[in-house]
Structure 1
Amino acid sequence: ILARDGFILVIVNVDSHTGKLLGDPEIISRGFVYLRDADHLVEQIKHTVNEVMLAGHQSLNGRRREKLQENLSRMLFNETRRRPMVFSIINER
């Protein structure tokens, strides 16, 4: 699957007390799309990250990473009709 659709890694830093994002997520793509040419897709990724992280601080009880990956996978397929492997790292500070 990596050879066909590549992967995307999203690294998110959040405040451990409030759940708020600390800056923009870092997005790494290999074999999927060249992010410098995909401004719309980058904005969609950031929007999806914001939605999940804001909703998930109280309600997901540790499932934020899985929920983030699920929502990103769905959004990426809807936007590109491709299914890259999606990984996420949530750093709480």
Structure 2
Amino acid sequence: MTAERIEITEASVPALPRGVKLRFDKQRDQWVLLAPERLFVLDNIALEIVKRCKGEANIDAIAEDLAASFSAPKDVVLKDVIALLQDLTDKRILTA
């Protein structure tokens, strides 16, 4: 039995599920997502997105905040945010 895919939209409110932690790995000298028996290394862009996934703001608000912080067009940022978060959700590293 397979779980149904969670579709990420602008209205989704992403959060890290229980058991998944955002941590700075001193050995690698970079930020990672730790999940049971898995580790995901985050680049700077992914880190900025994941840091905002606290189960409080929807993706539209996250994209707006990122666009303002980095002086980038919101539509471009939104597309990238949805793509990353959909990938993490498909891997069960994020809930929405």
Greater RCO, CA 8 A, separation 6+: 1
Task: Give the TM-score of the pair, scaled to structure 1.
Answer: 0.35
Task: Looking at secondary structure, tell me which structure has more strand per residue.
Answer: 1
Instruction: Return the TM-score normalized by structure 2.
Output: 0.34
